Chains A and B, each alone.
Chain A
Amino acid sequence: MRNSTARHLLLIVLILGALVFFREEKSNLPFKELRELEAKIKWKSQPTETQMTTDYNLKTSFENDLSEKAISSANQFILNNPKLFSIQKHHQLAVKTSSNPLGTHVSYQVYQDGFAILGMNIDLIVNRVGLVRLVSNQYRPIDRIKVDQANWLTVPEIFQDQTIKFKLSSERSEEEKDNVAIWISPNSSQPELVYVVSVVDTQQKQKVPGQALFSVITGQLIARHFPRSEFNEKPL
Chain B
Amino acid sequence: MTVTTLKIMTRFIHLATLIGLVSCGRLVTECGGAPLNIERLQAIQSTQFQSNSKAALVTPNPLDASGNVYLQALDSVVGSFTGAYFLPGLMNSNRLENNFLKIRISSISDSLDSLATPNSSGEFSFPISDIRYGQAMAYHSLSAIDSYVEALGFQTDKTRPLYVMVKAEGSTSNPAEVNAFYNHNIFESGPREIRIFGETQHSAWQDRDIYWHEFGHYVLESVTGSRGVDLAGDLGASFTEGSAIHECFADYGTESLSGRGYIGRWLARNFEGYAPGQPLRVAYDQSDEFQNFRSVVNFDPTGKNLDRYRLGEWCSRVLWDIRTQLVSENQEEGRYYADRTILAAASLLKRNTSISDLKEALLYADQELNCGIHSRSISAAFTSRGFPEEVSNLSKPLSFQGTVVGTNQSPTEDLRAFSVQFVLRNSNSQTARNVRIAIEAPNGGFSPYVAEQAYGDLGPGKTITVGGTGALPLDYSVIGLVSKTVNLRGIKVLIRIKIENGPESVNEVIL
Contact = CB atoms under 8 A, between A and B. Distances in A.
Contacts of B108: 171, 173
B182 interface: yes
A105 B158 contact: no
Contact of A54 (B16, B89, B189, B413): B89
B438 A179 contact: no
Interface residues of A, number: 86
B380 interface: no
A135 B32 CA distance: 20
B288 interface: no
Interface size on B, as a range, is: 35 or more
B303 A53 contact: no
Contact of A102 (B107, B178, B238, B344): B344
A128 interface: yes
Interface stretch (A74-82, A83-91, A227-235): A227-235
Contacts of B225: 98, 105, 107, 121, 123
A105 B50 contact: no
Interface string B154-196: 1111110000000011111000011111111111111001010
B155 A53 contact: yes
Contact of A52 (B158, B183, B235, B344): B158
Contacts of A234: 238, 303, 306-307
Nearest to B438: A187
Interface centre among A55, A100, A192 (most CB of B within 10 A): A100
B186 A225 contact: yes
Interface string A212-236: 0100001111111111111110111
Contact of B183 (A109, A125, A209): A209
Interface in A135-190: 135-136, 138, 161-166, 170-171, 173, 176, 179, 181, 183, 185-190
A127 B40 CA distance: 25
A224 B503 CA distance: 29
B508 interface: no
B411 A201 contact: yes
Given A56-B98, A136-B351, A196 B187 contact: yes
Interface stretch (B111-119, B125-133, B327-335, B441-449): B441-449
B183 A208 contact: yes
Contacts of A201: 411
A123 B347 CA distance: 10
B158 A51 contact: yes
Contacts of A99: 153, 155
A98 B88 contact: no
B265 interface: no
B347 A220 contact: no
Nearest to B351: A136
A123 B449 contact: no
Interface centre among A135, A208, A224, A226 (most CB of B within 10 A): A208
A12 B20 contact: yes
A222 B235 contact: no
Contacts of B365: 102
Which 5 pairs across A and B sit closest by C-beta, in order of nearness? A207-B170, A56-B89, A235-B475, A56-B88, A227-B183
17 contacts: A12-B16, A52-B158, A56-B147, A62-B155, A100-B344, A101-B33, A101-B154, A163-B412, A165-B411, A176-B190, A187-B438, A189-B442, A228-B181, A228-B243, A230-B181, A231-B178, A232-B179
Interface of A: 8-9, 12, 16, 20, 49, 51-58, 60, 62, 98-103, 105, 107, 109, 116, 118-119, 121, 123, 125, 127-128, 135-136, 138, 161-166, 170-171, 173, 176, 179, 181, 183, 185-190, 192, 196, 198, 200-201, 205-211, 213, 218-232, 234-236
Interface of B: 9, 12-13, 16-17, 20, 30, 32-34, 40, 49-51, 88-89, 98-100, 107-109, 143, 146-147, 150-159, 168-172, 177-190, 193, 195, 197, 213, 217, 223-228, 231, 233-236, 238, 243, 246, 271, 302-303, 306-307, 340, 343-344, 347-348, 350-351, 365, 368-369, 411-415, 438-444, 447-449, 451-452, 472-473, 475-476, 481, 483
Given A101-B369, A207-B170, A226-B235, 5 more contacts: A55-B150, A101-B154, A102-B348, A198-B185, A206-B197
